[in-house]
């Protein structure tokens, strides 16, 4: 996560060293004694990744007097293990063929094995967090619960009294924002920082998580799969209504949808074969609704920065602002 380390100015070297230590801890944690299981539990960690959550945990630790210590390293490893576990489960639910430029775990070993491998990583994260005391254990449990609720909300759909757009934002806050929020809070807790700072960076993390996922909604449509390691239109293939589709449906309900927008909705209401999804992706790439989603992502990124008032000016705050900007700069 070199961009965040650089944005942290004088903290760059210490943050980089911490992340190197976390990477070593992570690679050790995903190892299993049996070769077949080891290959599966190491699969996604070995494929790499941005390590956004460990980087955020390391950065916020500098708000406390005991920054970048062993507890910070363990906390950062816990959040990345938890994130990896969710990816195993997500790929089963989405039937995604690729993840991080490699074949997904369920394609490699089947759905049951992939789910169990994800469970192993959750267990390893739980074992590590037990070293950090009751408050850290409770935070991990609450975050895990929110991750599951977010997936359930996405699977079951919006309740009758909640709009699809509001329900979707709630899903993003739970599925993505909750773990980023926990990452930020863990950094402050691990370094004995103040509760006020912990609360501020957690709220920041939750909002950044929503911005991050809205940006991913754009990337899912606009990006080159050979570059991102993800198949364009993966969510469409699985019938998942991300923000671009929800905004098109709002336009249709208001009677202001254009011809291309209606064509996209008609296509997605039918057989979701490769040709259908490919045409939908092509139409979406040229549709103005993608600009609306970009704008929403930036609004959430800006709102995350707005809650940082309790954080003192300096390298940590600068790094957090850069982190929020980074979430949406990738869709410019």
Looking at residue 234, what is its pLDDT?
81
pLDDT band of 7, cuts 50, 70, 90: low
Distance CA 69, CA 21 (A): 10
- 140: which 2 tokens? 């991990």
Q: What is the pLDDT of residues 8-37, one digit of tens each?
A: 667 889 999 999 999 999 999 999 999 999
Q: What is the pLDDT of residues 82-133, one digit of tens each?
A: 999 999 998 888 777 767 778 888 888 889 999 999 999 999 999 999 999 9
pLDDT band of 232, cuts 50, 70, 90: confident
**DSSP per residue over 160-218, as a string?**
TTS-HHHHHHHHHIIIIIHHHHHHHHHHHHHTT--HHHHHHHHHHHHHHHHHHHHHHHH
Looking at residue 225, what is its pLDDT?
64
Q: What's the whole-model pTM score?
A: 0.92
pLDDT band of 231, cuts 50, 70, 90: confident
Please identify which residue in the block is written with the tokens 């850290």. Answer: 136
Distance CA 89, CA 72 (A): 26
pLDDT band of 5, cuts 50, 70, 90: low
Identify whether the C-beta of residue 140 lies closer than 8 Å to the C-beta of residue 74.
no
Looking at residue 70, what is its pLDDT?
98
Which of 178, 179, 173 lies closest to 154, judged by CA? 173
pLDDT band of 186, cuts 50, 70, 90: very high
């Amino acid at each position: 996560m070199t961009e965040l380390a650089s944005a942290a100015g004088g903290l760059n070297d210490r943050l980089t060293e911490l992340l190197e230590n976390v990477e070593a801890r992570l690679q050790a944690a995903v190892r299993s004694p049996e070769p077949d299981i080891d290959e599966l539990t190491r699969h996604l960690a070995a494929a790499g990744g941005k390590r956004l959550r460990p980087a955020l945990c390391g950065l916020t630790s500098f708000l406390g007097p005991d920054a970048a210590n062993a507890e910070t390293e363990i906390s950062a490893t816990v959040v990345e293990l938890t994130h990896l576990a969710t990816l195993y489960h997500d790929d089963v639910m989405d039937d995604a063929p690729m993840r991080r430029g490699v074949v997904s775990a369920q394609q490699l070993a089947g759905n049951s094995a992939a789910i169990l491998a994800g469970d192993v990583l959750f267990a390893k994260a739980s074992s590590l967090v037990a070293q950090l005391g009751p408050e850290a254990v409770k935070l991990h449990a609450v975050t895990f619960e929110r991750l599951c609720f977010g997936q359930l909300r996405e699977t079951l759909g919006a309740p009758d009294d909640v709009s699809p757009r509001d329900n979707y934002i709630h899903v993003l806050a739970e599925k993505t924002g909750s773990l980023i929020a926990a990452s930020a809070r863990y950094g402050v807790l691990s370094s004995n920082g103040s509760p006020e700072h912990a609360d501020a960076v957690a709220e920041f993390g939750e909002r950044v998580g929503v911005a991050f996922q809205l940006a991913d909604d754009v990337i899912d449509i606009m990006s080159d799969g050979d570059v991102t390691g993800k198949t364009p239109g993966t969510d469409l293939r699985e019938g998942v209504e991300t923000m671009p589709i929800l905004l098109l449906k709002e336009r249709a309900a208001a009677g202001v949808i254009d011809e291309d927008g209606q064509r996209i909705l008609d296509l997605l209401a039918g057989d979701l074969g490769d040709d259908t999804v490919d045409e939908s992706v092509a139409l979406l790439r040229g549709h103005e609704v993608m600009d609306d989603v970009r704008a929403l992502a930036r609004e959430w990124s800006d709102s995350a920065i707005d809650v940082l008032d309790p954080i003192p000016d300096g390298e940590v705050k600068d790094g957090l602002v850069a982190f929020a900007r980074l979430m949406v700069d990738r869709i410019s």
